[in-house]
């Protein structure tokens, strides 16, 4: 009888000590991990939103006000893709006008974070990505290093999307050196930038980085060198199609007519499937950074077709678990006048009520992100 209590006291003491250590350790883990955001959670936070044009001009703030962000949030959109034209500046990223750009970008990022909108910064330089010289690679790394340094302490809700899209418009039929055709170059540019951003420290070591697709659409995601993401828990990938909308080119991959029963829906499925496969095979979640429902090149889809496509596409992206940015905010909202557009718009010879289109998108878009992502 005398033994038992003494054993109990000893084991109780041990238990208390172990408990204290595990609590301490647990708290330590919680403190370290509480703010970093997993890709799974980040997809829910991105939800539906818009791509934007503010940083595609030399005077980013000329048509901007914080009210723009508030209005977007009040319509239940939750992300803004801040596409930044690096080609507006020289490769000297210490230049005064680049410092202004960084200041302006910081202002918009802060307004997004304050108003519960996810800011996604992306780089554009169509000439650099089309010719991809060594100087261009060095400048690309320098650009992201400057942006990442400036914003390294911002909330984890800010993400960096390494390419807006890899275009080939600038190289015509001389695209042999472009990042689109040289996935070896794509991989070295991307790998270098991921390392450079992570090395800036602050919250950048666990910030979400969204890689671009080597070929723009989802089918090229598999060309991303796995070494870039396999030991990093905070990597996603961006892809897109229909950035200038569906069209009526017979046999084309973006063909859509009437309610999509004649090939249109099949095209949407074929567009999304490689992204779903990539996520399944590689474990990397994706985001779609630019789509529009109207035919922005030829105006060939009528009002009802635009609405039909929009509703179908939004539903399919929800089924696939891919959050998105609608291209582009200015088509639906006047940033300078701070108001949603209600009047009809003439788009490539087609008169469309984009307000009605947006209401249809809002009608089918995720009201509760948990339903999709």
> Which residues are near ligand NAG by CB under 6 A?
58-59, 61, 75-76, 88-90, 95, 97, 100, 103-104, 107, 259, 273-274, 277, 308, 311-312, 342-344, 353, 355-356, 359, 367
Q: How far is the CB of 173 from ligand NAG (least distance, A)?
A: 28
Q: Which is nearer to ligand NAG, 234 or 373 (CB)?
A: 373
Taking the least distance from each CB to ligand NAG, the nearer of 338 and 344 is 344
194 vs 361, which CB is nearer to ligand NAG?
361
CA distances in angstroms from 58 to 85, 86, 92, 110, 210, listed in the order given: 9, 10, 16, 20, 25
Nearest residue to ligand NAG by CB is 103
| Nearer CB in complex with ligand NAG: 191/353 | 353
Shorter beta-carbon distance to ligand NAG: residue 204 or 279: 279
Rank residues 75 and 182 by Cβ distance to ligand NAG and give the closer one: 75
Beta carbon of residue 164, minimum distance to ligand NAG (angstroms, whole number):
17
Instruction: Please state, in angstroms and rounded to a whole number, the distance separating the CA atoms of residues 112 and 86.
Output: 21
Q: Give the DSSP letter of residue 204.
A: G
Instruction: Name the DSSP class of 255.
Output: B
Residue-wise burial string across 149-179, b where 16 or more C-beta atoms lie within 10 A, e elsewhere: bbbbebbbbbbbbbbbbbbbebbeeebeebb
Rounded to an integer, what distance in angstroms lies between the CA atom of residue 329 and that of residue 161? Answer: 18
DSSP letter for each residue of 71-105: HHHHTT--EEEEEEEGGGS-S-TTSHHHHHHHHHH
User: What is the closest distance, in whole angstroms, from the C-beta atom of residue 351 to ligand NAG in the complex?
Assistant: 9
What φ, ψ does residue 5 adopt, rounded to 5°? Answer: -60, -40
């Amino acid at each position: 009888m005398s033994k038992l209590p003494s054993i109990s006291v000893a084991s109780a003491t041990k238990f208390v000590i172990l408990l204290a250590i595990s609590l301490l350790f647990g708290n330590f883990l919680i403190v370290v991990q509480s703010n970093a955001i997993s890709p799974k959670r980040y997809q829910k936070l991105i939800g539906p939103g818009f791509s934007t044009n503010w940083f595609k001009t030399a005077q980013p703030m000329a048509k901007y006000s914080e009210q723009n962000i508030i209005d977007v949030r009040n319509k239940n959109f939750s992300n803004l893709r801040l596409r930044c034209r690096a080609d507006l500046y020289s490769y000297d990223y210490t230049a005064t006008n680049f410092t202004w750009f960084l200041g302006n970008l910081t202002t918009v990022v802060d307004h997004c974070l304050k108003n519960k909108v996810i800011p996604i910064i992306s780089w554009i330089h169509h000439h650099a990505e089309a010719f991809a010289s060594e100087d261009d690679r060095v400048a690309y790394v320098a650009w992201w290093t400057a942006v990442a340094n400036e914003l390294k302490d911002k909330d984890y809700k800010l993400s960096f999307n390494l390419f807006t899209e890899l275009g080939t418009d600038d190289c015509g039929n001389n695209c042999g050196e472009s990042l689109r055709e040289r996935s070896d170059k794509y991989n070295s540019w991307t790998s270098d930038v991921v390392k450079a951003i992570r090395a800036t420290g602050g919250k950048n070591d666990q910030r979400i980085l969204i890689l671009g697709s080597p070929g723009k659409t989802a089918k090229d995601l598999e060309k991303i060198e796995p070494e870039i993401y396999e030991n990093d828990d905070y990597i996603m990938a961006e892809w897109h199609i229909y950035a200038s909308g569906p069209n009526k080119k017979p046999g084309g991959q973006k063909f859509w007519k009437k309610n999509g029963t004649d090939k249109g829906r099949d095209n949407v499925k074929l567009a999304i499937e490689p992204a779903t496969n990539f996520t399944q095979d590689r474990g990397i979640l994706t985001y779609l950074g630019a789509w529009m429902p109207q035919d922005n090149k030829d105006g060939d889809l009528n009002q009802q077709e635009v609405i039909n496509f929009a509703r179908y596409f939004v539903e399919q992206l929800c089924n696939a678990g891919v959050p998105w940015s609608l291209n582009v905010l200015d088509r639906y909202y006047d940033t300078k006048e701070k108001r949603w557009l209600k009047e009809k718009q003439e788009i490539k010879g087609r008169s469309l009520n984009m307000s009605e289109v947006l209401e249809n998108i809002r009608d089918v878009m995720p009201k509760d992100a948990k339903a999709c992502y």
